Amino acid sequence: MSSRHRSRSELRGSRGERKEQTRRRLLDAALGLLSQHSFDSISLREVAREAGITPTAFYRHFDDMEELGLVLVEEAFGTLHQMIRDARADTPFLRDVVRRSVAVVVDHVHAHRTHLRFIARERYGGMRRLRRTIRLELEHFANELAVDLARFPDLEGWSRDDRQMFAELLVDTVVTTAAALLDASPDEEQRIVRRVERQLRLIVVGVSRWRSSPES
């Protein structure tokens, strides 16, 4: 490759890297503002100023604030999905999944506090499309879990509807726990963790006795 071609390739690469870095700055700037404010209360200009770019330059990376918010939702659920998959892996016992899942949620809150605060707030927040996307992500989360639950001996003979109901209960517990942990002190965190572990163990105990009634 000639030096001219190499320089053009390097230039395109550096431009792409700079564009990705600016995009990341915009996402991080929005997250920083969201630590104190709801999504629909922050403006494009505020995000651009926080990121150190002009409002016009914002549109090189996102069509509008709504698109930026959807990317943040995707990021938040992407990391959580993988961590929960890891918690469920390589064990046939629901009690082990419970223990691992609680630890995973605590670790995830510590590592992604701002993302989770955003999800917890916007789940019932002001922007309709964000609410809908979060709801669909949670439904997808539960659907994926319901399929995975079929491999557990404790759930042998359960119907697809029953596994779906159980999965939705687990997902709702995880999300509620994550929201409760966001502003908890270390002592409060331990109390929350102990309580949710007891709640989930109670659920698991009930699992072995559950049978759908004909009317359900």
Same domain? For 30 and 125 the reply is no
Instruction: Tell me the residue type at 72.
Output: L
For tokens 């930026």, what's the residue?
A: 68
CA angle 141, 68, 48 (to 5 degrees): 150
- Max mean pLDDT among 3-7, 42-46, 163-167 falls in 42-46
pLDDT at 52: 95
Domain count, the chain: 2
Same domain? For 166 and 143 the reply is yes
Report yes or no on whether pTM surpasses 0.75. yes
DSSP per residue, 25-73: HHHHHHHHHHTTS-GGGS-HHHHHHHHTS-HHHHTTT-SSHHHHHHHHH
Same domain? For 50 and 88 the reply is no
- Answer yes or no: are the C-beta atoms of 98 and 173 closer than 8 Å: no
Task: Measure the CA–CA gap between 112 and 125, rounded to whole angstroms.
Answer: 19
How would residue 73 be classed by pLDDT, with cut points 50, 70 and 90? Answer: very high
pLDDT at 84: 66
How would residue 69 be classed by pLDDT, with cut points 50, 70 and 90? Answer: very high
Same domain? For 70 and 128 the reply is yes
pLDDT digits over 145-184, tens only?
Answer: 888 888 878 777 788 888 898 889 888 888 888 889 998 9
Same domain? For 75 and 19 the reply is no
Name the more confident of 95 and 31: 31
> What is the arithmetic mean of pLDDT over 207-212?
69
Same domain? For 44 and 73 the reply is no
pLDDT at 86: 65
pLDDT digits over 48-66, tens only?
Answer: 999 999 999 999 999 999 9
pLDDT at 31: 93
> What residue numbers bound the domain in which 45 lies?
1-62
